[in-house]
Structure formats: C-alpha cells, structure tokens
C-alpha cells in the first residue's frame, strides 16, 4: 500500500473552502458575442456569509488570450465580482486572507446557465460549529441544532432571526454573529407521523424558510448554514429529499425498534484522531499482502470538486474535504459511530468516508459534464450544501486523503467504490452470507439472514456497521444490540474487505516545485500547444518522450482538459532538456528511500496483545509499515502502519497462546526501506477461569471444606488456519498424487489440495484446505500419503514432539487418519511451522500396525461432520514408516509433520476432505493459592481443595478470602474469586477443674478452690454451683472457693462432692464434675466448763458439779480430778465431777486455788482443766444489836452478795430457831436487819445461805 503525503509549495497555504457564485449571463456591457459578462460570488463555507477576496484571476486556457485580474477594491462587499471574459474555458483562482486558496475551471458561453459559487474554507473554523464543540452540546432524547443565518442578498450575518422548532414550540433568536443554538426533543413514532419536526427561520422583510422532516436522534446534532432571501412569502424545504434515506422518522423516543427500512437513532461518537487510531492494533487481521499499494504508485487526490446542486442551476466549487462533510451525513448513519465497544462503530463512518471520497474523486477524474464534476441527487452521492453533522465530519477529517484505487493504475477510477444499504445475497445467486461485487461472490457472513436493500453492489453499509460494532443489527435496526459473534474490524479492514480488488492509500495532490519521475513501463509523452499551453490536451503536439524513471520538476499546472475527449489532468514539467506538459497519472513525486528501522522488539503483555518497539533511522518517512506472520518465513500480512516519528505499536486482538512474528519497514511517497530484523513473541494463553465461589457460613471450631474448579485454555502454537490465503492457493500439503508411496493407489482425477472459501456447514472459518482424490478400483490396501515435502507454502513444517498436534477435519466418507512425522535434526528453538527440512527417519504416529504397507490408524473419522483430531505425540502408538525404529524421538524434541495418512473406510472411491486449524498445543497446568486468607485456611495447590477450621478466636466474624488459580504461562496468568466466610459463634461448654479426692480430719477445715475456664472469645461469665455434697460444705459461686469443717458426727465417713460450672452463653452451657472427701476420725479433748471463783465464810460446805463434754462421737468416758495442791478436804468425784469441800475456821482468812482436770481415755494428753479460787472469810460476827424506836437492829460482818438469814428464839434452850424473813442479801462487808421490838427476850443468830 502506498501512502502519499502532500508537500505544499511555499506559495500555497492549507486548503479551506469559500463559496463563490459565478453567474454566467450575457449583459449589456459585453461588446462582442464572443465574450460574456460574468459575475462571481464568494462565500465562507463554514458560515455562509459573503467573503471579499484579496484578488481574483481568470486565466483562459486557450493560448494567446490574456487573463483578467480583479483586486479587492473591484469586488463588491456582497462578495461579488464582475468579469467580461471571452467564450471558452477559464481557470479562476481566488486568494483571500484567512482562507485557503481556491481554483477551478469553468466554461464561458451563451448557453452556460449555471450559477457558480466558490466556497472558501476558513483557516480556522468557528469554535461554535466545530465538531468537538457541537459534540459537547449533546443531550439525551434531544437533538441540538446550531448554525448561522445570513442575508442572501448582502451576504451579511442576520441577527434577531427567529428560529422556532415545531411542534415543540422551542424558540431562539440569532445573535449578532447570526449564530443560533436550539434543542429539539426527539419525537415518538406517533408524534413524528402526525406532526413531523421542523425548524422555521423567520425575520421581518425576509421570506420565511421552513425545513421540514428534521432528522432527530437522542444525543444528535446538525449544523446549518441558512441564507434568507428578501421577500414576504415562505420557502419550504423537505429534508427527506436531501438525504438518501427516505423513510421518516429516522429515530423515535420509544424503545421498540423502527421499521426495518429505517436507520437507527443518531448518537454522537467520540472524537478520534488518526494518531490515536494508529496507536491501536488492527483487530483480527488487517491489510492483506496483495492489497498493499505499489511502493512506486502515486495517487492523485484533487483539492476541489464541482458539485451541481439538486436545483440543477447552482454549481458549488468546494474543497474535496468540505464535500465529504456535506455528503456523508446524507449517505451514512451517524449513530453508528456511537455503538460497539469503545464506540468502535466509528470505523463504519470512517470506511464510509473513504468510499464516499473515492467515489467523488472518480467523478473528478471523469467529470459528469464540462461544467461540473458530480451531481448532488441520488443518482450520485447525495449532497446537502446547507447541512453537516459533527460525527460524520469527524470521520471525514479523520480519513482525510484516504482513497481506494485499482492496482497498477495510480489513478482513482470511475465508480469503483459503489455502496448500498444491504447487499446480502439471500435467495440470490451467491447465496446467504455473500455479497456480489463485480466478478464473483464475496463472503460476508456478518449479514447472513438479511434481505438485499438497494442495488447490492460494493460496500454493504449495514455490513460495515456490523463489522465495526460487533452487533447483529437484525432487520437493519441499530438498536439490536445482540452480539453477532464476529471479531470487530477497523475501517481499513472494512474497506479492503468490500473492495478486495482495490488498494487503500493515502494520496495527496502534486504541487508546483515537486520533483517527479516517470512511472510505468513505456515512455511518457511530453506535449505542448502554442503559447506553452495544454489547451487541447492529448491533441497538443508531442515535443518529447521521457523513459521510465526520468526526473523532472513541476513548474505549472494542474490543468484539467476535456476537449480532447480524454479528460486528463496535466502538469507542466521541466525535464532539464525541455519543458512540456505530461499526464499526472504517470508522474510520481521523487523521495529518497527512507532509512531501515533499527532493532525491532516484541513483548507480549497479555493473551491478546503484543507491544512492538523499534529505532527510527529515517528522516524522510511518512510512516512505518508493520507486518505480522505466523512463522519466521511468513506468510506476511501488512498488519497496520503508524505515522512518522512513532516507534511503537500495540498489536491487539491476537489469538491467545500463539507465536506471532513481526518485521517493519518505513515508507514515503515513492519508496520503502529494507525490512528490520524479524522478531517474535508468544501471546500467553487466555487466563484460567475459576468457577464462582459462593459465600459460606461455618461455626467456629467446625471444618469448612470444598473443592475449587477452574478451566484453562491450552498453550497453542498455530501452524496454519488458512485464513490469510486466497482461494486456490496450495498451502502446506502437496497434491494427493505427488507422493510416490501412494500415487499408484490413486486415480489421476480428482487431484486437489488447495485453499477453499467453500466450506461445509459447521465451521465458522472463511478459508479451509480442500483435499480431493479418488482411489483406483484395483488398488489393494490403498492409502493416501498427503505430504508436506517441499511444498511451496509452509513446507516441512516444524512441530514439537513433546506436545500435542490437533486439526479439524471434515470428510464426505469415513476415513482412518494417522500421522507421518519425520525425525529431523532440527535445532532447539526453531520456530514452529518453519521449514524443518527433508532429512530424517519417518515414524507413523497414532498407528498400531501396517498390513501390506497400509497403516492401521487408531482414529476413525465419521462422514459429514467437522471433527477435531488431537494427537498426544509423546503417548501415541508409533510404527516405523521409513527407516524408523518405532520410537518417536529427536535430540531437540522437534521434528516435522511429513504427511497425513488417510485410509479409506468406504471402499476405493473418491474422497472429499476439508482440513482446518492446524496447531500445536500443551494443556495448561493450574496452581491454586490463597490471598487474604485467615490463619489456618489452606487450599491444595493442585487439588484446589479448600480447608479451614475457624478457631474460637476467629468467631464471630466475616472473612473475605480470595482463591487464585495461576497457570504456567510465561508470564503466568491468573484468575481469582473472592468469597466471604461467615464464622458464627458457638457456645462451648466451660471446663471445670476440681481438687482431687482427698482425706479430711473431722473438725478440721477443708478449703479448696475449684477452677474453670471458657474457650469462648470473648469469654463468657462463669458461675459455680454445688450439685451435692456433705452438710456444711459451702461453695462460693463466683470464686469457686469451697469450704467445709466436718463435724464429729460426720467422721469417719466418705462423702462424694459434685460441682458444676455454667456460662452465660447462648444457649447457656455447663460442665459437671465430682470428687470424694473422706472424713477421718479424730480424738478431740473434752471441754471442762469454767468454774467460777467463790468467796465463803469458814465452815461453809462447798459443793458443785463440774460440767464437761467430749466432742467425740461416740463420746469418750471422762474423768475428773484435782491436781496441784488442793486444800485439805477438797475433792472432786472422778465420774460425775461433783466438787466438795467442808471449810473450817482454820481456813478463815485464806484464799485457796483449786485446779480441776477433765480427761478422756488418753489422760492428760487429751484433757481440759480449770482453776478457781475460794476465799474464806471468818464466820459471820454479830457486831451490834441496838434498839431504834420500836425496832431491834442487828449488824453483822458479811460478804458482799451473800444471802443471810436471821433466826431467833426466846430461850436459849429451845431447840428450834425461828427464821426471820425476809433473808438479807449483803451489799457490802456488813449486813443489818431491823426487827420489831418484841415483848420478850430473844436470842439471835445469823445463818449463811449462799457460799
């Protein structure tokens, strides 16, 4: 493919289009019938306002006639100028500050009734109507319309023009620049049917203009250039007549699809630059080798074009770029740029822009008339001079100067890029899934099932949208988002797919000052008419002849001459030895060969992308071609190209697990460099796919286990899928009767082994290898050796004996199939698919035996179905075919696929076989691992079994866990699934630890602490309790402290003790345990009750009973005794403890301490004792008897607290004493008693009552 960059002459600026009107009519000022007065008008192509050029020059093409030139001062402010010109063809050149120059030819004659406008492109398009700005105004369910309104008479912008949308009623006014912006809501189908949307432009003193049947779409737009005429009536413009699509409405607000013939709603595409596109890879293929432009071809792209409007009166002289911007919105559906992944549908608009431009250039090269190049009606591409769309404008700008042309011509031919809405041949000659370009049938499966709509030739417009977007778009409905299951394709692929016999190139016009050379294989004529002109074209005299590769410099032109009946464009060239005019079709700009790119590297960064990088060693390149192949020797596909200065490329959309080879070279207008080094990279297989893992719930301390499963694609190295080869090409295998081993078994016909585009049902490929042969009736034990021996393409392909080989096969009759593999000396690292040579033994693989030379394969292929055959080469049965040893082995592990062995299973008849998708592969090994896993969680690296027993500390809680499966790609690829495990709290019973069973002595204290623990976290609150135990045993419920002092009654004895501990969990749980206490008998000493001290009078008999007890059970026998030195006569009864002592006067005035002991059978070792004192006072002494009044008062010595009784008798000799009551209780050392005085004498005494 050749891409030609325009080199502008220093005197030229970039192109822009002004609209100039040339009104050709006879006027009174013309002085001769051989001349006419010509009025010319110039208009800004972007806004429609009048432009006053700096100069206008009209140059006649006829020799000997003088040109006319007007300066700015001679041009009216309305953008009009007037010439008086001779009849004949003239070239009009216009120059205006701020605009691109414009030139064009026109014919002056009395019959020329056309109005001609020259539309000048501004160097800077007003921002408010630039596609980027308009796109930023988009709204959902509304279409925004912007533009300018000018006075058609004065050419000035009109302020205050009412712009009203009907029937919505939305309205706005133009500003001082004549600019307006208005939103129109998208209508429902009913609304659009009953009251189609329109825009009404009105202003006092001007004719109202109503543009009916607006094309509305959600997030759509339109840019208008409106010129209002003065007057009072109304102009109605039916927009349906200005676009190829006649059905209305185009888009509706409802979700249901419009009728099949309607296009979809318009949706704004994202802006794209050529640089950003070239940074992307061509998806699934690219430019095929045979479609590349010749490296020495020059493709002329005209600057301007003359368009006859639909009024058949006005001819627009405009730039080719502006033409595309005004034609494409009427020819293509802008919303396609907004569909597909990443708005990939933009590629449809880009392809449409190329087809539309090429079609227009064909008309420039073959004008429809001497006065105009192309029409604007449906007979030509539809052209609307007043309207553009931001999305189609972006596509036209993006593909600027790209055209298609016929190889070897260097010239864009006439009508070579036809296109039609729906070209599928359903029910017609080529059949469903095909289009019918000139000369045959073109496989176009993306359009299967659709009915032809339109003339059906060339590019299928809906097909281009389907390839670009990946959508099915059934019934020509963009809203059908069903995936069509075909790979996305870019605009280059789409152009070359629909025009397979054309070449895509970026052309540019030649310019004055260019160095050129002669193209072709014959000499180039140099011609010139009188006056150094080329007025008569090929009828001018030949002044020289220049051989191929002659060099010259352009000094004049271009001149389009049609009077000679040929219609060539001519350039004036200085050839050094002569000057003259030559046809541009055979001229090529001369450029030095660009430098060869340095060190190309390829790095696989994903399963579908390889990044390339190289060194830029060229200074004059336009860009760099990138070529890809399946093997080091090709075949090579021109995959893409990038602009000058770019030294990297991302090749995307690749097949996972394949080896891709690359080479690059730079190019300019006329030459290409040598190739860089060849390098390769292997795309990793697709990442493994880990099955979804559902969230789990598990209680703490319970095992959670499950098995993860994953799938992975194999490591694949492609041998060939035949997609890059033309039908009829021999690839990999020789003809069936080539091999002398089996040719004797075969008939002479059929004898086919070639790529075919006719494919049995069940295979989605576009190309397969068809093998057709027949066995002779007389052949015993027949078989076919289909060999790769030194085939023209992919001969002796290297394969890896350590891997697996597979391919797809279809046969019309059953066959057995085996392999013949050659054990070559192929070195390690040799690329799969490269030529491995023809030296080495041959082993049959997948063959168990041979009978009379016929192999006995293990695989039987049934008829009429596509079958994938897989040979695990290291594990297959092996038999020697030629010098082999029955063992498949080489030093490097590499060898070649020498042949496929076919053994007939339906007799000696004809067999028709199709082969496809040969590749080597290795199963992917997967390794499982965990990320973010809690402590204790594991996964089997090879089994994928997940195990985890959450600990008490891990519940309750939610744990996100990621399982990762990684393959053994280089670099490894992985997939992961994150799931959560909810660990629920489970109440674990507490653990109780009791003291050991033990002995305790009765009456001795037993103290022990029960201990308990709770494994729950947070720990529960624990409480102790006593289930059973001896009387008196106590347990602290909080601390667990247990106390007990066995009573005498409890010993000896054995006492089981049962204790529990409970928590406050949910539900509450407890733990019970027991131990035994054995109470031992213990001799406890008796207890002697305290004995109180006594104070008595001498002579008192002291007697009391000591009280003593023995705690032992049964009680021991106790013995009382007095120890120490007791007073004489004091004693205690040993058995009953009665103490007696008869005091006497001798004891008076003494204090006596007496010790009493109580002992059991152990005597003093087990005893208790008490001491008490006995103070003895003298006997009571009556100290005084006296009379007091009528009483006798007795006073005696006494002991405090002692009771006394006074007795009396009348005669001393009386035996009886009379008690005087009451008794007296002494309160001190003396006691007294008063008695009434009697009538006789009395004797008194005092008795002591209490000791």
> What CATH number does residue 1213 fall under?
2.60.40
| Token output for 824 | 């070559």
pLDDT in tens, 81-123: 887 888 888 877 888 888 887 877 778 888 777 888 999 999 8
pLDDT at 312 over 80: yes
Mean pLDDT for 259-268 is: 32
pLDDT in tens, 194-211: 999 999 999 999 999 999
**Nearest CA among 652, 714, 625 for reference residue 292:** 625
Query: Pairing between strand 115-120 and 35-44?
Result: parallel
pLDDT of residue 449: 92
CA separation, residue 216 to residues 145, 250, 395, 1233 (Å): 10, 7, 20, 146
Mean pLDDT for 698-719 is: 90
Q: What is the arrangement of strands in the sheet containing 623-629, beginning at the earlier edge strand?
A: 637-643, 623-629, 659-667, 679-682
Mean pLDDT for 217-236 is: 93
Do 839 and 968 belong together in one domain?
no
Half-sphere exposure of 1050 (CA within 13 A, CB side): 22
CA distance 999 to 1001: 7
Do 69 and 163 belong together in one domain?
no
pLDDT at 1 over 80: no
Do 875 and 1002 belong together in one domain?
no
CA separation, residue 93 to residues 55, 102, 701 (Å): 8, 6, 94
pLDDT at 571 over 50: yes
CATH of residue 1004 = 2.60.40.60
Size (the chain), residues: 1251
Lowest mean pLDDT among 9-23, 49-63, 72-86, 859-873: 9-23
CA distance 1214 to 1216: 6
Mean pLDDT for 1083-1097 is: 91
CA distance 187 to 1006: 99
Burial of 810 (0-12, 13-18, 19+ CB in 10 A): buried
pLDDT of residue 410: 59
Cross-strand bridge partners of residue 256 = none
Mean pLDDT comparison of 245-259, 897-911, 1000-1014, 1079-1093, highest-scoring range: 897-911
Higher pLDDT pick, 1174 / 514: 1174
Do 942 and 1021 belong together in one domain?
no
Higher pLDDT pick, 304 / 773: 773
**Nearest CA among 465, 492, 487 for reference residue 639:** 492
**Contacts of 89 by beta carbon, 8 Å cutoff, 6+ apart:** 60, 61, 62, 105, 106, 107, 108, 370, 535, 563
CA distance 826 to 1004: 100
pLDDT of residue 150: 97
Query: What is the residue-averaged pLDDT of the chain?
Result: 86
pLDDT of residue 391: 93
Single out the residue in 1158, 1177, 1196 at which a domain terminates: 1177
Do 635 and 675 belong together in one domain?
yes
Q: Are 1174 and 1164 in contact (CB under 8 A)?
A: no
pLDDT of residue 302: 83
Helix count (H) and strand count (E) of the chain? 8, 88
pLDDT of residue 741: 93
pLDDT of residue 880: 95
Reported as a pLDDT band with limits 50, 70 and 90, residue 286 is very low
**Nearest CA among 1197, 1186, 1175, 1210 for reference residue 1246:** 1197
Do 1163 and 1192 belong together in one domain?
no
Report DSSP state, residue 290.
G
pLDDT in tens, 1016-1032: 888 889 999 999 999 99
pLDDT in tens, 173-200: 999 999 999 999 999 989 999 999 999 9
Residue 225 lies in a domain: yes
Task: Output the pTM of the full model.
Answer: 0.50
pLDDT at 1015 over 60: yes
pLDDT of residue 55: 82
| Token output for 801 | 């004996």
pLDDT at 279 over 70: no
Q: Are 262 and 247 in contact (CB under 8 A)?
A: yes
CA distance 213 to 267: 18
Do 339 and 397 belong together in one domain?
yes
Lowest mean pLDDT among 24-38, 451-465, 1062-1076, 1220-1234: 24-38
CA distance 403 to 357: 7
CATH of residue 173 = 2.60.40.1120
DSSP string, 839-906: -SEEEEESEEEEETTEEEESEEE-TTS-EEEEEEGGGS-EEEEEB--S----SSSEEEEEEEEEEESS
pLDDT of residue 1098: 93
| Token output for 250 | 């185009």
Residue 1201 lies in a domain: yes
CA distance 174 to 182: 10
Residue 513 lies in a domain: no
pLDDT at 275 over 80: no
Do 219 and 326 belong together in one domain?
no
Residue 439 lies in a domain: yes
Report DSSP state, residue 378.
T
CA distance 1166 to 1161: 8
Residue 9 lies in a domain: no
Single out the residue in 898, 922, 946 at which a domain terminates: 922
Do 474 and 557 belong together in one domain?
no
- Strands (E) in 883-1003, as ranges, are 894-904, 910-922, 927-931, 938-939, 945-948, 957-966, 974-984, 991-993, 998-1001
pLDDT at 1146 over 80: yes
pLDDT at 1176 over 80: yes
Residue 984 lies in a domain: no
Mean pLDDT for 990-1009 is: 92
Q: How many domains does the chain have?
A: 10
Q: What is the percent of the chain where pLDDT is above 70?
A: 91
Residue 512 lies in a domain: no
CATH of residue 808 = 2.60.120
CA distance 833 to 794: 7
pLDDT of residue 526: 94
pLDDT of residue 24: 38
Mean pLDDT for 1104-1123 is: 90
pLDDT in tens, 547-558: 988 999 999 888
CA distance 481 to 470: 8
pLDDT of residue 1071: 93
Q: What is the percent of the chain where pLDDT is above 90?
A: 57
pLDDT in tens, 56-78: 888 786 656 777 888 888 788 88
Higher pLDDT pick, 1224 / 40: 1224
pLDDT at 276 over 50: no
Helix or strand run (H / E) with residue 1230:
strand 1230-1236
**Count of C-beta atoms within a 10 Å radius of residue 903:** 21
List the Cα angle 506/510/511 in 5-degree steps: 135
φ/ψ (deg, to 5) at 1235: -125, 140
pLDDT of residue 56: 85
**Count of C-beta atoms within a 10 Å radius of residue 577:** 9
pLDDT at 17 over 60: no
Burial of 1212 (0-12, 13-18, 19+ CB in 10 A): exposed
Single out the residue in 454, 479, 506 at which a domain terminates: 506
Cross-strand bridge partners of residue 982 = 697, 958
pLDDT at 8 over 50: no
**Nearest CA among 324, 399, 387, 332 for reference residue 48:** 387
Do 341 and 194 belong together in one domain?
no
pLDDT at 289 over 70: no
pLDDT at 273 over 80: no
CATH of residue 643 = 2.60.40.10
Cross-strand bridge partners of residue 872 = 804
**Nearest CA among 315, 303, 334 for reference residue 385:** 315
Residue numbers of the domain that contains 348: 274-506
Report DSSP state, residue 128.
G
Helix or strand run (H / E) with residue 1234:
strand 1230-1236
CA distance 280 to 278: 5
| Token output for 218 | 């959600």
Q: Are 146 and 43 in contact (CB under 8 A)?
A: no
Lowest mean pLDDT among 38-52, 593-607, 614-628, 1054-1068: 614-628
Residue 516 lies in a domain: no
Do 950 and 1076 belong together in one domain?
no
Q: Are 1044 and 1000 in contact (CB under 8 A)?
A: yes
Mean pLDDT comparison of 81-85, 296-300, 848-852, highest-scoring range: 848-852
| Token output for 302 | 């005209």
pLDDT at 873 over 70: yes
Mean pLDDT for 313-333 is: 93
DSSP string, 711-732: E---EEEEEE-STTS-TT---S
Do 386 and 487 belong together in one domain?
yes
| Token output for 625 | 């071609």
């Amino acid at each position: 493919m050749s891409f030609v960059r325009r080199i502008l002459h220093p005197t030229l600026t970039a192109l822009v289009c002004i609209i100039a009107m040339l009104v050709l009519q006879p006027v009174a000022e013309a002085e001769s019938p051989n001349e006419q007065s010509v009025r010319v008008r110039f208009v800004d192509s972007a806004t429609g306002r009048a432009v006053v050029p700096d100069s206008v020059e009209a140059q006649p093409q006829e020799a000997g006639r003088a040109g006319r030139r007007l300066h700015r001062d001679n041009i009216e402010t309305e953008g009009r100028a007037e010439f008086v010109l001779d009849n004949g063809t003239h070239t009009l050149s216009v120059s205006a500050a701020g605009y691109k120059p414009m030139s064009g030819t026109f014919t002056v004659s009395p019959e020329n009734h056309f109005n001609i406008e020259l539309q000048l492109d501004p160097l800077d398009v007003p921002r408010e109507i630039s596609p980027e700005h308009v796109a930023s105004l988009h709204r959902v369910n509304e279409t925004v319309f912007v533009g300018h309104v000018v006075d058609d008479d004065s050419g000035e912008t009109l302020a205050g023009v009412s712009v009203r949308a009907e029937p919505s009623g939305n309205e706005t006014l133009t500003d001082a620049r004549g600019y307006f912006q208005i939103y129109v809501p998208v209508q429902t189908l009913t609304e659009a049917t009953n009251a189609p949307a329109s825009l009404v432009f009105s202003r006092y003193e001007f004719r109202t203009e109503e543009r009916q049947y607006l094309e509305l779409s959600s997030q759509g737009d339109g840019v208008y250039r409106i010129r209002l005429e003065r007057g009072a009536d109304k102009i109605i413009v039916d927009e349906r007549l200005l676009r190829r699509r006649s059905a209305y409405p185009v888009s509706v607000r409802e979700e249901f699809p419009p009728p099949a013939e309607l296009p979809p709603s318009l949706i704004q595409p994202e802006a794209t630059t050529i640089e950003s596109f070239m940074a992307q890879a061509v998806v699934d293929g690219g430019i095929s080798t045979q479609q590349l432009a010749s490296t020495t071809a020059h493709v002329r792209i005209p600057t301007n074009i003359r368009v006859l409007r639909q009024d058949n009166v006005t001819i627009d002289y405009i730039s080719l770029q502006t033409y595309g911007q005004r034609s494409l919105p009427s020819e293509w559906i802008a919303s396609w740029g907004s569909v597909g992944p990443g708005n990939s549908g933009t590629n449809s608009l880009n392809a449409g822009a190329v087809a539309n431009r090429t079609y227009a250039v064909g008309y420039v090269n073959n004008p429809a008339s001497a006065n105009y190049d192309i029409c604007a009606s449906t007979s030509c591409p539809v052209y609307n001079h007043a309207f553009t769309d931001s999305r189609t404008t972006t596509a036209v700008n993006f593909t600027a100067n790209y055209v298609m042309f016929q190889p070897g011509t260097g010239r864009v031919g006439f009508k070579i890029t036809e296109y039609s809405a729906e070209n599928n041949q359903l029910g017609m000659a080529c059949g469903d899934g095909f289009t019918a370009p000139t000369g045959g049938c073109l496989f176009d499966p993306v359009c299967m099932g659709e009915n032809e709509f339109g003339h059906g030739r060339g590019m299928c417009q809906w097909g281009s949208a389907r390839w670009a977007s990946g959508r099915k778009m059934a019934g020509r409905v963009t809203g059908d988002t069903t995936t069509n299951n075909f790979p996305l394709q870019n605009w280059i692929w789409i152009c070359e797919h629909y025009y397979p016999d054309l070449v895509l190139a970026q052309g540019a016009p030649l310019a004055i000052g260019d160095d050129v050379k002669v193209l072709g294989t014959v000499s180039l004529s140099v011609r010139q008419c009188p006056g150094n002109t080329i007025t008569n074209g090929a009828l001018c005299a030949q002044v020289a002849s220049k051989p191929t590769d002659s060099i010259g410099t352009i000094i004049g032109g271009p001149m389009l001459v049609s009077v000679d009946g040929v219609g060539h464009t001519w350039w004036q060239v200085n050839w050094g030895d002569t000057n003259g005019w030559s046809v541009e079709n055979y001229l090529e700009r001369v450029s030095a060969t660009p430098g060869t790119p340095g060190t190309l590297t390829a790095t696989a960064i994903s399963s579908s992308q390889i990044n390339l990088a190289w060194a830029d060693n060229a200074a004059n390149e336009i860009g760099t071609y990138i070529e890809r192949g399946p093997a080091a020797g090709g075949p090579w596909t021109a995959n893409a190209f990038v602009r000058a200065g770019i030294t990297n490329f991302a090749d995307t959309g690749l097949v996972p697990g394949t080896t891709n080879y690359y080479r690059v070279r730079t190019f300019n207008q006329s030459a290409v460099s040598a190739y860089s080094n060849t390098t390769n990279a292997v795309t990793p297989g697709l990442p493994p796919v880990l099955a979804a893992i559902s969230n789990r719930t598990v209680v703490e301390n319970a095992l959670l286990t499950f098995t993860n499963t994953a799938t992975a694609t194999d490591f694949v190295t492609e041998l060939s899928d035949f997609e890059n080869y033309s039908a009829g090409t021999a690839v990999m295998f020789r003809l069936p009767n080539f091999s002398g081993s089996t040719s004797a078994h075969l008939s002479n016909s059929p004898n086919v082994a070639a790529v075919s585009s006719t494919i049995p049902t069940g295979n989605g490929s576009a190309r397969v290898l068809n093998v057709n042969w027949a066995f002779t009736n007389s052949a015993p034990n027949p078989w076919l050796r289909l060999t790769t021996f030194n085939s023209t393409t992919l001969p002796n392909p290297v394969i890896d004996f350590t891997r697996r080989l597979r391919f797809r096969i279809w046969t019309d009759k059953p066959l057995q199939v085996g392999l013949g593999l050659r054990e070559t000396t192929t070195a390690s690292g040799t690329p799969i698919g490269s030529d491995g040579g023809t030296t080495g033994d041959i082993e049959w693989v997948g063959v168990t035996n041979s009978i009379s030379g016929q192999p006995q394969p293990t695989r039987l292929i049934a008829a009429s179905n596509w079958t994938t055959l897989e040979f695990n080469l290291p594990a297959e049965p092996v038999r020697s075919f030629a010098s082999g040893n029955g063992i498949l082995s080489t030093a490097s592990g590499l060898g070649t696929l020498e042949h496929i062995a076919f053994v007939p299973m339906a007799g000696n008849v004809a067999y028709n076989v199709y082969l496809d998708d040969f590749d080597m592969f290795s199963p992917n090994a997967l390794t499982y691992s965990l990320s973010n896993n809690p402590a204790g969680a594991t996964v089997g690296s090879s089994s994928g079994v997940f195990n985890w027993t959450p600990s008490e500390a891990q519940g309750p809680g939610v744990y996100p866990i990621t399982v990762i499966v990684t393959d053994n790609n280089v670099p490894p690829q992985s997939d992961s699934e994150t799931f959560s495990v909810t660990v629920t709290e489970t109440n674990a019973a507490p653990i109780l630890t009791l003291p050991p069973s033990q002995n305790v002595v009765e009456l001795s204290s037993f103290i022990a602490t029960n201990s308990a623990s709770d494994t729950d976290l947070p720990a529960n609150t624990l409480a102790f309790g006593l289930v059973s135990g001896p009387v008196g045993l106590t347990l602290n419920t909080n601390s667990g402290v247990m106390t007990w002092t066995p009573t005498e009654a409890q010993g000896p004895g054995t006492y089981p003790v049962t204790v529990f501990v409970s928590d406050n969990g949910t539900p509450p749980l407890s733990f019970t345990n027991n131990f035994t206490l054995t109470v031992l008998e213990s001799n406890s000493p008796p207890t002697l009750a305290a004995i109180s001290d006594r104070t008595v009078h001498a002579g008192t008999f002291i007697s009391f009973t000591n009280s003593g007890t023995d705690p032992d059970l049964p009680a021991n026998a106790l013995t009382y005794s007095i120890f120490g030195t007791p007073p004489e006569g004091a004693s205690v009864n040993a058995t009953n403890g009665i103490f007696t002592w008869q005091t006497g006067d001798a004891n008076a005035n003494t204090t006596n301490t007496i010790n009493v002991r109580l002992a059991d059978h152990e005597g003093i070792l087990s005893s208790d004792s008490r001491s008490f004192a006995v103070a003895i006072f003298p006997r009571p002494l009556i100290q005084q008897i006296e009379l007091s009044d009528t009483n006798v008062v007795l006073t005696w010595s006494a002991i405090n607290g002692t009771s006394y009784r006074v007795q009396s008798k009348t005669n001393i000799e009386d035996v009886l004493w009379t008690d005087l009551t009451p008794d007296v209780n002494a309160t001190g050392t003396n006691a007294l008693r008063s008695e009434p005085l009697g009538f006789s004498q009395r004797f008194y005494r005092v008795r002591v009552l209490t000791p």
